[in-house]
Amino acid sequence: MEHAASTTELERQFVAESYTGIYSMHKYWSKKPFNLIRNFILKYSNENDVVLDPFCGSGISIIEAILTNRKAVGIDINPAAIFITSEMLAKITPKEIENEFSRIQNDCEKKMNELYHVERNGKTFVGTHYIWAEDNLKEIWYVNENGKKIIGNPNSDDTKLAKSFSYENIPYYYPKAKLFHNSRINANSNMHVYELFTPRNAYALSFLLNRIESIKNQELKNLFKFCFTATLGQASKMVFVINKRGKFNGNKYQEKKEVGSWVIGYWIPKENFEINVWNCFVLRYKRIIKAKKEQYNLDYEIKLADNLKDLKDSNLFLINNSALTTLKQFPDDSIDYVITDPPHGNRLPYLELSMMWNEWLRKTVNYDDEIVVSEARERGKNLENYNILLGKVIAEIDRVLKPDHYFTLVFNSLDDETWQNLLTMVKDLRLELQNIGTMGYSATSVVQDNRRRGLKSDFTLTFKKVKIKQNLEIKLLEGEIEKTKVKSLIENFLTMNNKAETYQILNYVITNSLKDKKFFRLTDVLSVIDSDFEGRIKQLNQEVH
């Protein structure tokens, strides 16, 4: 059997680059490393080919397809995902964006800053950050006349002002929907989207959005809405306080508090920040305008298509709908390359997580057709439903892909059943496994699995649609004899590497056995690691440090 390069070697070759520039404009969960996605597109498709991603998320594959002169088809059930993809690609003259920003600034900055005014010794300042512990205002930051950041105790006027706002009195649109109850993402069904924000920040946001919605030019309006949704997380109560070691000032000990950032889900920490919404918006705007200026000089042009046929004379077709419904309308053998990263079981309920964005954007959301396993009981989304729907989409991919063309599936699971289901899904199709690899996460990815056994990379499985499938079914190997094979693969890995984390060993064993059309249960591999190699791995890792 021919062995692939060791995992660490692979990692060196295929290091995920961080999201800077255009890739850093807006958050999305499980964004894929653009440079690695680009490598796949270059390898498996040609210029002017039609590249499809039926679960395109924030559109990394779509952007890379466009930047490498392909025609891109992106589908996602999440309105926010299609909106983000479209705005990431939008090319707008930077001067027009800057002019519009100045107009928004004229209309909003002063009024919004008044919501945070702070009076000290007869002078008025603007509050930038407020620290709340449940319902009590604990600390207030503002900038003084010399531009110095002052951290102080709130006085009764500060508290009175902060508490003078109420959701009921907000005169503009703000989202009133209730979250689905899902403890995994800290979402409580008694909670409304607006309650993720203090009443003052909800007011400021609704005022700002109202102003943005009045922009006549559709392109600019969308871009500033994009800037608005990108601002929401840091303007919410979900921003935690980092308590750093403080210092003695005289003989009084002063704690040092820093701004954390919003993490996955709807966790509102007991101690949280309320950040001046105008400042949050300006920070995001600066990042976006910088990226848009860089992007303006890139050599591409967007021509939107209304359907697949239109792609002859255009290069981008984006659809906000379920992958299954959409693909059913595509003719057989019509797509040159498919690359996709489907939802991974119960890891991330995208529509529930995106509710904060979709509700502010007033989007209608099709929760019923999402492919997901959700803890929110009222949604009835279980593993069986997930497998059936994902299987149907993969069968559609098989149908729409041209013969002798490729399909790359980015896949991540530690669960035996999920792997087996995937292998069952492709069994009766014309898709034949050609290549397996691993793909690291970008350092700045929102999704990092840091459990000891957490997968710190994805698998990439590339299939070819063949005319006639040979009998190349992937065999599940079980039992004592097969354990010896697992052991020898692990031995091999340990000989080739001078450090070994569990996920690297797993990657190596799975990648190499799949190459031979064999598959071991992940739980079997893990138990062999524990029973036979734990001591050796510890020793190996200690030698490195």
Ligand X SMILES: C[S@@+](CC[C@H](N)C(=O)[O-])C[C@H]1O[C@@H](n2cnc3c(N)ncnc32)[C@H](O)[C@@H]1O
User: Tokens for 144?
Assistant: 């003084």
- Amino acid 380 reads G
Our CB check for ligand X shows the closer of 7 and 58 to be: 58
For the CB of residue 50, give the shortest distance to ligand X in the complex, in Å: 18
Partners of 99 in beta bridges: none
Closer residue to ligand X in complex, CB, 76/336: 76
Q: What residue ranges in 378-430 does DSSP mark as E strands?
A: 401-411
Residue 419 CA neighbour count, 13 Å, CB half = 21
The CA distance from 60 to 38, in Å, is 9
Answer for the pair 175, 75: CB distance below 8 angstroms, yes or no.
Answer: no
Question: What gap in Å lies between CA 364 and CA 39, rounded to an integer?
Answer: 35
User: ∠ CA(507), CA(343), CA(309), 5° rounding?
Assistant: 115
Closest to ligand X by CB, 195 vs 370, is 370
Contacts of 329 (CB under 8 A, 6+ apart): none
Taking phi first (over 0 means left), then psi (-120 to 50 degrees means alpha), and beta for anything else, what does residue 19 get? beta
Of 208 and 324, nearer to ligand X (C-beta) is 324
28/503 with CB nearer ligand X:
28
Q: Taking the complex as a whole, how short is the minimal distance between the CB of residue 341 and ligand X, in angstroms? A: 4
Q: Which residues contact 34 (CB under 8 A, 6 or more apart)?
A: 17, 19, 23, 60, 63, 64
Residue 386 CB, shortest distance to ligand X, in Å, is: 9
128 or 418, CB closer to ligand X? 418
Closest distance to ligand X from the beta carbon of 58 (Å): 4
Nearer of residues 320 and 513 to ligand X, judged by Cβ: 320
Q: Which is nearer to ligand X, 350 or 406 (CB)?
A: 350
Cβ proximity to ligand X: between 371 and 376 the closer is 371
Radius of gyration over every alpha carbon of the chain, rounded to an integer in angstroms:
26
**Which lies closer to ligand X via its Cβ, residue 6 or residue 358?**
358
- Distance in Å, CB of 364 to ligand X, minimum: 15
Minimum separation from the CB atom of position 27 to ligand X (A): 10
Least distance between ligand X and beta carbon 322 (Å): 4
- Interacting residues toward ligand X by CB under 6 A: 28, 30-32, 55, 57-58, 60, 75-78, 81, 322-323, 341-343, 350, 369-371
Q: Please give the residue whose beta carbon sits closest to ligand X in the complex.
A: 57
- Structure-block tokens of residue 485: 């094979």
332: left (phi over 0), alpha (psi -120 to 50) or beta: beta
- DSSP assignment of 139-177: EEEEE-TTS-EEEE---HHHHHHHHT--GGG--S----P
The distance of closest approach from Cβ of residue 4 to ligand X in the complex, given in angstroms and rounded to an integer, is: 24
Q: Give the burial class of 465: count Cβ atoms within 10 A of its Cβ; 0-12 exposed, 13-18 middle, 19 or more buried.
A: buried
Nearer to ligand X, 65 or 75 (CB): 75
Task: Name the helix (H) or strand (E) containing 237.
Answer: none
Nearer CB in complex with ligand X: 389/500: 389
CB of 394 to ligand X, least distance (A): 12
CB of 351 to ligand X, least distance (A): 6
CA 206/CA 259 separation, integer angstroms: 23
Q: Count H helices, E strands: the chain? A: 18, 16
Q: How far is CA 319 from CA 7, 45, 107, 465, in A?
A: 37, 22, 35, 24
Q: How far is the CA of 5 from the CAs of 437, 493, 507, in angstroms?
A: 10, 9, 11
3-class DSSP state of 103: helix
Q: How far is the CB of 30 from ligand X (least distance, A)?
A: 4
Q: Which residues pair with 378 in a beta bridge?
A: none
Minimum Å gap between C-beta 425 and ligand X is 15
Q: DSSP string of 258-284?
A: EE----SS----SEEEEE-HHHHHHHH
Q: Closer CB to ligand X, residue 88 or residue 97?
A: 88
- Classify strands 71-76 and 316-320 as parallel, antiparallel or unpaired: parallel
CA distance 503 to 518: 19
CB of 346 to ligand X, least distance (A): 13
CB of 91 to ligand X, least distance (A): 20
Whether the CB-CB separation of 88 and 316 falls below 8 Å is answered with: no
Nearer to ligand X, 31 or 211 (CB): 31
Question: What is the four-CA torsion angle of 243, 247, 252, 256, rounded to 10 degrees?
Answer: -30
Strand segments, DSSP code E, in 332-441 are 335-340, 401-411, 431-440
